[in-house]
Amino acid sequence: MTCFGPLIPSQLEVGLIAKQEMFKSLFREFADKGIMPIAVEIDESREFPHKTVNKIGALGFLGLPFPQEY
C-alpha cells in the first residue's frame, strides 16, 4: 500500500511484463542453442559473428520498434 492507494498492476503493466518475459525466454533459448555452442570459437577467432547477428535480427531483436511506414 502506498499513500496513493494499493499497488495493483494495471492491465497494461501486466501485458507488458508478459511480453517482456516472452522476449526474454525467446532470446535465452536462442543464446543457449545459437550462441553458447560457438562462443569460444567466436572469441578465439576474434571475428565478428555476422551470421549470428543476422539471426538475432531475424528474430526481431535489432532495430527500432516502429512500423516501417514511419
Reported as a single tens digit per residue, the pLDDT across 2-51 is 455 555 556 556 667 888 888 889 999 999 999 999 999 999 999 999 99
pLDDT for 33 equals 95
More reliable by pLDDT, 13 or 69: 69
Q: For residue 34, what is its C-alpha cell?
A: 545459437
Identify whether the C-beta of residue 27 lies closer than 8 Å to the C-beta of residue 55.
Answer: no
Compute the average pLDDT of residues 59-64.
Answer: 84
pLDDT at position 1: 47
d(CA 50, CA 26): 20
